[in-house]
Structure 1
């Protein structure tokens, strides 16, 4: 059974969250300053949200509300460019247009479908669980809180162009090390994109998400005598690596091979974009 709700859907959503006796499953694109109040989730619940840098710096996602939920025992996961708004509680679920924000609650015209049939509730839970691949720690949320900026209305759109982006050629010398996929960005790329140098005391572990297949991996930045490397499993000479900064030590990436449809466009961009930090060797740019 399902019903379309167009009048005050947050009253029903919040009530269902408050009355739940079991952990809930929620994926909601943006969570504002009132998000923890609108979603009083039970300990053990899973919440997936776009808590990437563009969303936080645009003021659309508020880390402070996520911190409050985390203190209650809610597990918080990040999914850049998430646009879903789905909720599964004990006996009822909701699918619609509602972000967890005061604007959604009080000002915007929302439409939400409430569902109570077990198969659909299971589908929602499975969908949310499939997005739970990159969990934010206490320290991650503290860092994001330091990056937060209050929203400026009208709110800007969030898209991939808001991310700091690295485009770099993969060359034969990258086929080294234990895995044979140790990409070696030049010092200029390490400094301008990753904010790392050979003198950085402790090199971080990067959390990498392949945007083509959704797989998330952790890879340590390794310091050698003259270069630093990071393992990219799909790296192959002649391909192009495209990366986006989406959080602290978090990067989305893809490897574009010469036979891919958009390889020519990216290769042209590499050859035609001026890079004042480039000296010789492989081409790379940060945009």
Structure 2
């Protein structure tokens, strides 16, 4: 009963807590007050028989109010209280309200989830954007030079480049190597080379072993990173207010996000 303190949602508030707390006591005392106060009047006006009949009627009405009206008000009040708690943040707000009182619990509530996420993206949006980014296997300049021309052009098209001015194979290889910029040979997130130099003791043992391919994810700006590194980078961006962007040039991951001055320059 004491929790019936609600906010109108427009800055005002109203309370029926004190009235509800005192109402059962008033109803219990009401028969005695009415009987003692009205007994002389009813006895003088109606006589003893009419007075006892009226006293029984008053008691019946007060009992009906006590056993029907009060529970109904209680159910209605609890329903309003549950809606009020849900509208202010749920059980966290209720716990704060019980521990710190209404002044702390009823302080200006935090914005709704959709308002808190204004300017931010969800994990689902980041995961969907990552699946649309191309991936490629890292190749050294020697491996690129060994590829046929049509495969080199396919790599360029996959990166969003158009080899219109590349008439020779060497020009295609050079354009592929230049497009990666500072991320062409090493991952700027983990600071490791895509092809680490083998230790002298392992050089002979691993000479004939087939190396596992290094898979890179190519961003829209052209920078490349390890798939596991850049995916973790973008997914961790959903925990903060910053928008997911390229670690090097700050180019946005999602097409609808505004580009910064650095992100507009692309891969360098």
Q: TM-score range by the shorter chain?
A: under 0.3
Bigger Cα Rg: 2
Q: If each structure's helix is expressed as a fraction of its own residues, which one has the higher value? A: 2
- Structure number with higher relative contact order (C-alpha < 8 Å, ≥ 6 residues apart): 1
Give TM-score, length-normalised by structure 2.
0.21
Structure 1 length as normaliser, TM-score? 0.20
* Greater per-residue strand proportion: 1
